[in-house]
């Protein structure tokens, strides 16, 4: 399967390669950048290496997983996005994170519709969800711009998670 998956005006999305581990670590070890990711805790270098292996298995079993986002002008990896099934959940879920130095440039709003379209076209996904912390207004705006709609709230000890859904046929 082709490594380059889709492009937007400023981004190129591709499968992870072994040398991406440094960029994965740079983004996901930043405590500010990951405050809304998973449990909000930075990950270790070893966890990044394990995640690379999990992603390779996801590519082999599902055809998709996490992907690298390159700046089209420089070729530099500036973030990550993907379609994942955390904890074995049935629905594919969109995930993304960018280097903090790129925040505020509209890159997520540019990438999300392209990733959702890729998931629908390449894999026939009929429903894709997204979850985010209730106070993460930036993610809410990105998903609403992409045509996703809120479909639920999940309360837990750490707060409230908002669930959005996107149906490719109705966007």
In a domain, 105, yes or no: yes
Model confidence at 161: pLDDT above 50: yes
> pLDDT digit string (tens) for 61-77?
999 999 999 999 999 99
Instruction: Tell me whether residue 163 is in a domain.
Output: no
Domain count, the chain: 1
> Do the domain assignments include residue 131?
no
Residues spanned by the domain of 94:
4-125
Supply φ then ψ for residue 63, to 5 degrees. 90, -10
- What CATH number does residue 61 fall under? 3.40.630.30
Is 70 within the bounds of a domain?
yes
The answer as to whether 146 is a domain residue is: no
Cα separation, 131 vs 39, in Å, equals 13
Q: Which two tokens stand for residue 45?
A: 């270098």
Q: What is the pLDDT of residue 39?
A: 72
Evaluate if pTM is beyond 0.75.
Answer: yes
């Amino acid at each position: 399967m082709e490594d380059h998956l889709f492009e937007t005006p400023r981004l190129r999305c591709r499968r992870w390669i072994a040398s991406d581990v440094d960029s994965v670590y740079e983004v996901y070890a930043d405590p500010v950048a990951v405050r809304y990711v998973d449990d909000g805790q930075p990950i270790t270098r070893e966890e990044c290496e394990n995640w690379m292996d999990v992603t390779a298995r996801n590519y082999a079993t599902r055809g998709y997983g996490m992907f690298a986002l390159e700046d089209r002008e420089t070729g530099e990896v500036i973030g990550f996005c993907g379609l994942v099934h955390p904890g074995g959940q049935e629905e594919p879920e969109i995930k993304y994170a960018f280097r903090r130095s790129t925040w505020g440039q509209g890159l997520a709003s540019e990438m999300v519709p392209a990733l959702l379209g890729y998931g629908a076209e390449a894999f026939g996904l009929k429903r894709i969800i997204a979850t985010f912390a209730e106070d993460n207004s930036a993610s809410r705006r990105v998903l609403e711009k992409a045509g996703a709609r809120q479909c639920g709230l999940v309360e837990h000890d750490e707060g409230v998670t908002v669930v959005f859904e996107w149906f490719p046929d109705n966007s």
